[in-house]
Amino acid sequence: MDVSRLLLSVVMVMSTSDGTPVGHQTCEPSKFQCDAGPCIPLQWKCDGYNDCQDCSDEDPRYCEASDSCCFHLEQDAYKVIEGEAFHYVPYDMDDPNLPDANITWYKNASEMKNITEIVNITNIVNTAKIMSITKIMKITTNKTHRIHYHGGELFFLNISANDAGHYSARHIEPSGECFYYHLKIEVFDGTSRENLTYGSIRNSDQNKNIPCPQPVKDTCKTFNGNFTWFKGKNLIPGQHKESLWVNDATKDDEDIYTCICTWTHNHKVYNSSGSRRLFALDTRNFPNATIVSPSSKEQLADEGSSVKLNCTVYCGINAVRDCEATWFINGNPAKQMDGYNETTTLEVEDPSKRTFATATLTIQRASAKDFQHEFKCQGSGFYTVTSATLTLRQRESIIPLRILRGCVFVIAVLAVILVKYFAIDLALLFRTCFPPGRRNDDMKMYDAYVVYQTQSLDKETEDKLSNFVTKTLPSVLEDKCGYRLFIQGRDNIPGEDRVELVESCIKQSRRLMVILTPGSGPEMMENPTSDQTSVIGFDWQVGLRYALLQNGMGVILIQLGEMGPRDYAHLPPGLQHLIRQSAPIRWPKGSQTASKWNSRFWKRVRYLMPARPARKRDSSAII
């Protein structure tokens, strides 16, 4: 065996990554053994013809570039982050599940740093011959190696910067066809991720869809991996799908979005990632142009006055370049007519970006001709042109309307005054004109039960109280108004139990009338001195209980004279509560008209009395 043949065998042994020597020992030295077994003349090797029928005699391990047997497909190029894993399947390969014997992967050894041993032996033989032999290094199929292949799949596990370079695969199909696949790998550190994106997302959609880059997505599907997403360096929680949706995207959402697939191979966990940059372009939408204003076909105006007409058109979202509004008068552009001034504005709402164009037509002095013109508002959008017509109508005189409004206002003020100051008179008049029904649903005998105190009164006050209770009060309410009153001492039934009589009569009364005097107080209920005062004290107790707890009896408070420096503080708490709800009606001292039934005092009392007097019944029905 000559020296070059020996060196060829040495180089082939050194250039296999799995350490398996490649030799031909069954054929004569003057023969070449094909991979399939047959031997061919040595001079047929690397002659550009497929003499072995499997192209092994044209294998780039032994030959310089030979294109006579195989089809060379376009090179794929990828940029990978150092420390991650990369799983590669050629784009043009139909089925990567091939027998390892049908495909062989190589790396261009001239780009490796561990070829010093080959270079050191170049002084033994021709340097060019050795370099042409050592260009290719075979990749192993051993799964324990970082870089290995299985069929059409090439694995880079925990890839490093030394793994960058050009890789090729020689694939022989059962039909004898041969194909070469080419791969270029560039390795970068993690700080360069923003320059390694798989394109960018640039559209005006409101909701942005960011798909995981295809190589990462294919790896995750092949190995049933899990997806996670990052915005910049921040994890996006809860996102584990192959696509990420950014809803209502704004400028704040612009960033680099990274899809990371975590997958398992040979019982070890690896990561593969790919990034895309998101740009939130302004959303644009061009619906049919719509006239917003004028919304009616007529506009009121006064002859001789200044008039402004607004033409507002809605054109869509971010439609600034294709939005216009203008006025036409009898078919002619308003801008070209004297006496009219048109100004236009373009408004984009924030943050909706809705675009409106407005043309304002100003008529300096409306004339009779203007009320005969046809004004047309025309709006132009991206796709359509629309219009709306408007005419001026002379406004009628507003003097009669102002007079009518003034009269209504005066009447309303008078009505408020009448109600405020003559509410009682109006109520009594209403009772007279529209009397209530004849029947009394409550079926009670008395309209009011009169409660008063005679204990601890001076002679003058006692005389005034007696005169008011026994004469003045009955003469007005009973004789002139027809009411029925129960007055203790006057209406007692002889022989009846007084305590039982008081409670029964109060039950049969529709109002409780309390007469307050300067001496009225709790003493009469705490220290009664006689049978009569005891009954009167019981009157107060039962009456106040019905007024406060039963809520079925109205209370009329009448005050005779001044209550003194203590005012109402000496009265029972229940009576003070009733006074706070309704102030007592004061008997006008020394008034000549007070005794008249239509005086202010008696009107207030009558207003608080029932609208219709109680029906007369037999006194025996009380108990």
pLDDT higher than 60, residue 130: no
Contact indicator for 318, 328 with CB cutoff of 8 Å = no
Q: Angle CA(605)–CA(608)–CA(613) in degrees, nearest 5? A: 95
- Cα torsion 490, 496, 500, 503 to 10°: value is -30
Residue 357 CA to residue 348 CA, distance in Å, equals 9
* Least confident segment among 276-290, 385-399, 585-599: 585-599
Give Cα 310 to chain centroid, integer Å.
Answer: 33
Q: Angle CA(145)–CA(147)–CA(149) in degrees, nearest 5? A: 100
Nearby residues of 248 by Cβ (< 8 Å), 6 or more positions away? 206, 207
- Cα torsion 414, 417, 421, 423 to 10°: value is 70
- pTM over 0.85? The answer is no
Contact indicator for 509, 449 with CB cutoff of 8 Å = yes
Share of the chain above pLDDT 70, in %: 81
CA-based nearest residue to 152, from 96, 196, 214, 72? 96
Contact indicator for 213, 106 with CB cutoff of 8 Å = no
| 90-95: average pLDDT | 86
- Looking at residue 18, what is its pLDDT? 39
| 334-353: average pLDDT | 88
**DSSP code of residue 397:** P
Residue 533 CA to residue 457 CA, distance in Å, equals 13
Residue 305 CA to residue 392 CA, distance in Å, equals 12
3-state helix/strand/coil string of 266-326: CCEEEEEEEEEEEEECCCCECCCCEEEECCCCEEEECCCCCEEEEEEEEEEECCHHHCEEE
| 279-301: average pLDDT | 84
Q: Distances in Å between the alpha carbon of 29 and those of 26, 38, 41, 121, 133?
A: 9, 14, 9, 23, 19
Nearby residues of 531 by Cβ (< 8 Å), 6 or more positions away? 498
- Looking at residue 491, what is its pLDDT? 79
Structure tokens at 574: 């229940």
Q: Angle CA(613)–CA(615)–CA(620) in degrees, nearest 5? A: 130
Task: State whether the Cα torsion 310-314-320-322 is positive or negative.
Answer: negative
pLDDT higher than 70, residue 122: no
Q: Distances in Å between the alpha carbon of 59 and those of 138, 169, 202, 318, 557?
A: 12, 11, 46, 62, 127
- Looking at residue 500, what is its pLDDT? 78
* Least confident segment among 64-73, 75-84, 455-464: 64-73
Q: What are phi and psi of 40, to 5 degrees?
A: -130, 160
Contact indicator for 518, 461 with CB cutoff of 8 Å = yes
Give Cα 512 to chain centroid, integer Å.
Answer: 61
- In the chain, the amino acid numbered 512 is L
| 107-118: average pLDDT | 47
Residue the block writes with tokens 């102030």: 583
Q: What are phi and psi of 326, to 5 degrees?
A: -155, 160
pLDDT class of 128 with cuts at 50, 70, 90: very low
DSSP line for 342-393: EEEEEEE-TTT-EEEEEEEEEESS--TGGGT--EEEEEE-SS-EEEEEEEEE
**DSSP code of residue 561:** S
Q: Model confidence over 405-462: pLDDT tens digits?
A: 889 998 988 888 877 777 777 777 777 777 766 555 667 888 888 888 777 778 888 8
pLDDT higher than 90, residue 156: yes
**DSSP code of residue 531:** H
Radius of gyration of the chain (CA): 56
Q: Model confidence over 2-12: pLDDT tens digits?
A: 333 334 333 33
Structure tokens at 485: 């009153």
CA-based nearest residue to 201, from 142, 269, 145, 276? 276
β 39-41/208-211 pair status? unpaired
Q: Model confidence over 311-327: pLDDT tens digits?
A: 999 998 888 888 999 99
Nearby residues of 1 by Cβ (< 8 Å), 6 or more positions away? 29
pLDDT class of 196 with cuts at 50, 70, 90: confident
- In the chain, the amino acid numbered 614 is A
Residue 80 CA to residue 84 CA, distance in Å, equals 7
- Compute how many other C-beta atoms are within 10 angstroms of the C-beta atom of residue 26: 9
* Least confident segment among 295-304, 489-498, 522-531, 597-606: 522-531
- Looking at residue 194, what is its pLDDT? 74
Structure tokens at 307: 């008039």
Peptide bond into 294 cis (omega under 30): yes
CB-based burial label for 461 (10 Å; 0-12, 13-18, 19+): middle
Domains and their CATH numbers in the chain = 28-68 (4.10.400.10), 74-111+134-278 (2.60.40.10), 290-394 (2.60.40.10), 444-519+538-608 (3.40.50.10140)
Residues written for the chain:
623
CA-based nearest residue to 168, from 134, 137, 140, 146? 137
Nearby residues of 96 by Cβ (< 8 Å), 6 or more positions away? 89, 90, 151, 152, 153
